[in-house]
């Protein structure tokens, strides 16, 4: 039987895991290669180059790979205002209307790049002068969101707009329901995350060839066509599917960049950092403690894991470069036995790194000024594990909680919780197979 390739990629915020498979026997795909990298240290391009060598070795006759992607990479955007290279074409009087619902949300578009039009301003000459104006503000502007309510524009005027911006080389995103501010936010988010998606697709096509078919996991399964905003919950939707396949209602997932609790039931409005976005997604809760949160003395000189700010770059001290210890670093001993950690952090077993981490925590312990508010590192670790366990119980209510994920052995604190085996490439391929996508 002829060999047939498939690539399964989990692209997280901070790490990626890839698997190359021979799927000539659909019921029994053969794993040919698997590797994980820590993205602040090794680029995705570098990882893909390694897979490409294996790919060419095993499949010399193929140049149209099928790549299945589950991603959390878009979470990187969640800390930022978007829309720096997007123009908004809207009706005069509706400038920045998309964030009046809650102005404290992150912005999705730059005010200076708005083209606001009156009914009599849809001619090309006016559009040209407006485009010239905003191109002076941002010469790299390459996308435009058109959001004019149907009752204010004729189809001929809409055609003028489309033709004008297409000929100007701008990618057009049209809001289908311009009177609905949440639909406008959704369109702006689609435009704002287009660059990130294109970056991923381009790298995959560079590695496996132009004909490569890239399917991302969306609420409807692995798809090549989707709205970009659906990719923000790609991982959560996939993990919910995994839980369902294993006949559970809910479960806790642990890896190096997230500790979360996922439920089966779905919502239609995602409360994003940019406001409410109408997109189907599985319900999930991030646990209080994040593996990339800094362990520090706070303003009260209390030793604790800081909530909120995540130190994705340069990452934990166990990765070798960082100078701020993170929550992950507290578990460097346990991580030495964990296969994902061994894969990602090659220096983990080095005595000098382990000594460095111990010294850092020792300095923090001794830096506590008030004996009445002092904590020892071992107690902090116990608190973290207790907190994780209690939070799992909190979300799982009366039902039996299940835990899984590449770091489940490090963070699952107590016996009595059911654990499921989980490997990203294997599970991605299983789901692709179950959807008939192989």
Partner 1 sequence: MNFLNYQSHLKILLKNFKSCSLVNADGALLYSKDNSFELLTTTRLVAFQIVKKYLNPKPQDLFILNDPENGGYQYSKIVFITCLNPNLFLIWDEDYHFIDFKIPPTPLFDQGRKNEFVWQAMISANKNADELEAFFEYQKYTVDRLMHLVSLIEDLANSKSQQIWLKASNEVFNTQFNNKAHGTAEAYFKLNSTQTIKLKFSAEEKQNLKLITLDFTNTNLATDIHTSSHVIESALIKKISEFFQIGDYLTQAVLDKIKVILPPRSIVSKPHPAGLYNYELQTICSQVCEHNMTQLNAHNRKGQNTFDYANFLNFEVYGETLHANNLISATQVSLQNFEQLICKNLIKMTAMKKTDSSHHIIFSVCTDNPLKLNIKNNYYSDKLNNQFKLNDQLLQRGSVELKKNDRIEIIWG
CA distance 306 to 310: 9
> Residue 403's closest CA among 391, 74, 433, 339?
391
How far is the first Cα of the chain from the last one, in angstroms, to the nearest whole number?
A: 16
- Which residue, 307 or 339, has its beta carbon nearer to partner 1? 307
CB of 91 to partner 1, least distance (A): 9
Report yes or no: 246 and 420 within 8 Å, Cβ to Cβ.
Answer: yes
Beta-carbon contacts of 116 under 8 Å, excluding residues fewer than 6 positions away, are: 90, 91, 92, 93, 94, 95
Shortest distance in whole angstroms from residue 358 CB to partner 1: 21
Residue 306's SS3 state is strand
Pairing of strands 5-11, 114-117: unpaired
Q: Which is nearer to partner 1, 255 or 391 (CB)?
A: 391
> In angstroms, what is the minimal distance from the CB of 288 to partner 1?
6
Nearer to partner 1, 295 or 428 (CB): 295
Q: How far is the CB of 379 from partner 1 (least distance, A)?
A: 6
Least Å from the CB of residue 194 to partner 1: 24
**Cβ–Cβ under 8 Å, residues 234 and 218:** yes
- In the complex, minimum distance from the CB of residue 160 to partner 1, in angstroms, rounded to a whole number: 24
Which spans of this chain sit near partner 1 (rule: CB under 8 A)?
A: 93-97, 99-104, 111, 179-182, 276, 288, 299-302, 304, 370, 372-373, 375, 379-380, 382-383, 386-387, 390-391, 393-394, 397-398
Nearer to partner 1 (CB atom), residue 340 or residue 392: 392
- Other beta carbons within 10 angstroms of residue 330's beta carbon come to 22
Instruction: Report how many helices (DSSP H) and strands (DSSP E) the chain contains, helices first.
Output: 12, 17
Min separation Cβ 244 and partner 1, Å: 22
* Residue 112 to residue 134: CA distance in whole angstroms: 7
Residue with smaller CB distance to partner 1, 53 or 100: 100
Q: Would strands 402-404 and 213-218 be described as parallel, antiparallel, or unpaired? A: unpaired
Closest to partner 1 by CB, 199 vs 286, is 286
- CB-based contact 166:146 (threshold 8 Å): no
In degrees, rounded to 5, the angle at the alpha carbon of residue 422 between the alpha carbons of residues 421 and 428 is 145
Q: Which is nearer to partner 1, 46 or 301 (CB)?
A: 301
Min dist. Cβ of residue 332 to partner 1 (A):
21
Q: 3-state SS string over 370-386?
A: CHHHCCCHHHHHHHHHH
Identity of the residue, 92 or 220, whose beta carbon is nearer to partner 1 in the bound complex: 92
* Nearer Cβ to partner 1 (37/117): 117
Closest to partner 1 by CB, 179 vs 264, is: 179
Hey, which residues does 144 pair with through a beta bridge? 87, 172
Residue 317 CA: distances (Å) to CA of 309, 355, 361: 16, 11, 11
Minimal distance, residue 56 CB to partner 1, in Å: 51
For partner 1, give the closer residue by CB, 43 or 301. 301
Cβ 398 to partner 1 shortest distance, Å = 6
3-state DSSP call for residue 290? coil
CA-to-CA dists, residue 252 to 113, 249, 392, angstroms: 43, 11, 7
Question: CA-CA distance, 176 to 186, in Å (whole number)?
Answer: 10
Beta bridge partners of 277: 270
Q: Which residues pair with 209 in a beta bridge?
A: none
Q: What is the C-alpha to C-alpha distance for residues 82 and 105, in angstroms, rounded to an integer?
A: 11
Report in angstroms how near the CB of residue 393 gets to partner 1 at its nearest. 6
The set of residues, in sequence order, having a beta carbon less than 8 Å from that of 137 and lying 6+ positions away, is 110, 112, 113
């Amino acid at each position: 039987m002829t060999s047939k390739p498939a690539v399964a990629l989990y692209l997280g915020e901070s790490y990626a895991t890839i698997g190359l498979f021979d799927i000539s026997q659909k019921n029994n795909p053969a794993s040919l290669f698997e590797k994980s990298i820590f993205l602040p240290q090794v680029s995705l391009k570098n990882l893909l180059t390694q897979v490409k060598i294996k790919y060419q070795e095993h499949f010399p006759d193929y140049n149209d790979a099928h790549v299945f992607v589950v991603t959390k990479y878009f979470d990187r955007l969640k800390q930022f205002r978007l829309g720096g290279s997007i123009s908004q074409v809207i009706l005069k009087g509706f400038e920045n209307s998309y964030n009046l619902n809650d102005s404290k949300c992150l912005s999705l578009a730059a005010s200076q790049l708005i083209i606001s039009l009156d009914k009599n301003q849809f001619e090309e000459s006016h559009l040209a002068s407006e485009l010239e104006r905003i191109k002076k503000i941002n010469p790299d502007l390459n996308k435009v969101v058109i959001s004019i309510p149907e009752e204010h524009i004729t189809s001929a005027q809409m055609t003028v707009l489309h033709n004008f911006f297409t000929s100007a080389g701008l990618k057009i995103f049209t809001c289908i329901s311009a009177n609905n501010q949440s639909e406008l936010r959704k369109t702006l988010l689609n435009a704002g995350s287009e660059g990130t998606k294109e970056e991923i697709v381009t790298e995959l096509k560079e590695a496996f060839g132009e004909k490569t078919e890239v399917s991302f996991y969306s609420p409807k399964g692995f798809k090549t066509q989707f709205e970009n905003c659906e990719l923000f919950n790609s991982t959560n939707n996939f993990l919910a599917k995994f839980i369902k396949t294993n006949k559970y209602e809910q479960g806790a997932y642990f890896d190096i960049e997230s500790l979360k609790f996922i439920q089966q039931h779905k919502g239609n409005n995602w409360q994003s950092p940019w406001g409410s976005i109408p997109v189907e997604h599985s319900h999930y809760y991030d646990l209080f403690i994040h593996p990339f949160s800094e362990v520090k003395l706070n303003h009260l000189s209390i030793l604790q894991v800081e909530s909120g700010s995540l130190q994705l770059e340069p990452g934990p001290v166990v990765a070798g470069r960082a100078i701020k210890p993170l929550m992950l670093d507290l578990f460097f001993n346990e991580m030495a036995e964990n296969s994902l950690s061994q894969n990602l952090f090659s220096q983990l077993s080095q005595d000098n790194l382990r000594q460095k981490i111990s010294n850092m925590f020792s300095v923090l312990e001794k830096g506590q000024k008030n004996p009445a508010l002092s904590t020892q590192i071992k107690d902090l670790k116990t608190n973290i594990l207790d907190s994780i366990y209690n939070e799992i119980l909190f979300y799982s209510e009366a039902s039996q909680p299940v835990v899984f994920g590449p770091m489940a052995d490090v963070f699952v604190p107590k016996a009595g919780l059911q654990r499921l085996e989980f490997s990203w490439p294997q599970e991605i391929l299983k789901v692709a197979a179950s959807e008939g996508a192989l």
